[in-house]
A and B are shown apart, each in its own frame.
Chain A
C-alpha cells in the first residue's frame, strides 16, 4: 500500500522567503507528526495532530513555524521569513493512535 508521501523532495529558497511543505499520511491514520532532522540537533519533534483535537505545537521552534491539517488528512507545514538555521530535512510521520509511526521520505530544505 501507499506510504507517507511528502512534497517537494527538495526545496531551495532565499533567506526571508516563506515556504510550504506538504505531507500526505497513510490512509486511515489518525495521528500525524512533523519532525526536523538537522546535523546539529538530530531528530526533533515539531508538531502533532490527532483527529479533530487541538494540535500539540510544543515543539515548534518559533512563531515563524505553523502547520495545519485539513480534513484530518493532508498537512502543510509553513515556515515564514526563512532563516539559514531552518535548513534541515523535514520529516512527516503518521500512525494509528499511539502505535508505530511510519515516516515519509522527507523534504530537504536549504535556505541560502
Chain B
C-alpha cells in the first residue's frame, strides 16, 4: 500500500521567511499529488495539485510545489510567508488509473507564522 511521509511535524517561521515543507511518497506507479491546507477552524482546502506535465505547479496564495519523480517527492514552497499562512498542511496522493481514487494523506505539518 502507498504511504506518504511529511518530514516536519511543526514548523515555526517569522513573517517574510521562506517556506519549504517536505513530502515523500512510496509507490512505484503513476500518482496524482496534492497539497491541502486546513486553516484554524476551517475545513480542508486544496492548495495545488499535480496530475501530469510540468513538474513545477503553482497553486493559490503564492504556493508552489515541485514533483521530482526520481526522489518520490512533492515539496511545497513559498518564498515569503505571511501570518495568515498559519495552518496545517497535508500532502496526499492518489493512484492514477486505479478504480478508487481515495486520498492517502501524510500526517500533516503544522505551520505557525510569527508576526
Binding site for B on A (CB under 8 A): 31, 33, 35, 42-45, 48, 50, 56, 58-59, 91, 93, 95, 97-98, 100-106
Interface residue tally of chain B, by bracket?
20 to 34
Is A103 in contact with B102, judged by CB distance below 8 angstroms?
no
Which of A31, A91, A98 lies at the interface centre, i.e. has the most chain B CB atoms within 10 A of its CB? A98
Is A100 in contact with B43, judged by CB distance below 8 angstroms?
no
CA gap between A50 and B98 in the complex, in Å: 13
Q: Which chain A residues border B44 with CB–CB below 8 Å?
A: 91, 93, 103
Which of B42, B46, B49, B103 lies at the interface centre, i.e. has the most chain A CB atoms within 10 A of its CB? B103
Is A98 in contact with B102, judged by CB distance below 8 angstroms?
no
CA gap between A56 and B34 in the complex, in Å: 21
* Chain B 13-40 interface 0/1 with A at a Cβ cutoff of 8 Å (1 = within): 0000000000000000000101010000
Taking the closest CB of chain A, its distance from the CB of B8, in whole angstroms, is: 14
State whether the Cβ of B99 lies closer than 8 Å to any Cβ in chain A: yes
Is B43 in contact with A42, judged by CB distance below 8 angstroms?
no
State whether the Cβ of B82 lies closer than 8 Å to any Cβ in chain A: no
Q: B102's contact among A42, A45, A97, A100, by CB below 8 Å, is which?
A: A45
Q: Which chain B residues border A97 with CB–CB below 8 Å?
A: 101
20 contacts between A and B (CB under 8 A): A33-B103, A35-B103, A42-B106, A43-B90, A43-B92, A43-B103, A44-B105, A45-B102, A50-B100, A56-B100, A56-B102, A91-B44, A98-B94, A98-B96, A98-B101, A101-B103, A103-B36, A103-B43, A103-B44, A105-B43
Top 7 closest pairs, chain A to chain B, by CB:
A43-B105, A45-B102, A103-B44, A56-B100, A98-B101, A105-B43, A42-B107
Taking the closest CB of chain B, its distance from the CB of A38, in whole angstroms, is: 11
CA gap between A44 and B104 in the complex, in Å: 7
Q: Which chain B residues border A45 with CB–CB below 8 Å?
A: 102-104
B102: nearest residue on chain A (CB-CB)?
A45
Is A100 in contact with B46, judged by CB distance below 8 angstroms?
yes
Q: Which chain A residues border B32 with CB–CB below 8 Å?
A: 98
CA gap between A51 and B108 in the complex, in Å: 30
Taking the closest CB of chain B, its distance from the CB of A98, in whole angstroms, is: 4
B107: nearest residue on chain A (CB-CB)?
A42
